[in-house]
Structure 1
């Protein structure tokens, strides 16, 4: 997988670990807004870029309980 794919999977896994079992859209959105500040500073710029580009897809995928690779796959490639 590409670096961006690997980071996306890492980010989704981190989100899943931090979310309560009872996922609400509001909880996911709040965590998406805060996640980049929770991660080590070396990941912040990459995190913000992924969130800016894929936040809607990540939100929908997490609400559907998809796995990291499923969430991070695009139409043109898979991870």
Structure 2
């Protein structure tokens, strides 16, 4: 069975092989926490229905997104 494009509200723990089309509505600059040993990056994704998901990315995973992701960019 192929992937289907869904809205965020249609996804649940039993959903398999899916895709969501989202727009990045917020791209918060990287924050260094506490003693400087941890970094945090936050994105807010919104689908066509207005549902939001917040993505938190930590430490060595932050560079994996690099410049491939930017505010008001559709994925």
Identify the TM-score tier after normalising by the shorter chain. under 0.3
Higher RCO, 1 vs 2 (CA within 8 Å, ≥6 residues apart):
1
> Based on CA coordinates, which of the two structures has the bigger radius of gyration?
2
Q: Which protein has the bigger helix share?
A: 1
Q: Which protein has the bigger strand share?
A: 2
TM-score for both structures, normalised by structure 1: 0.26
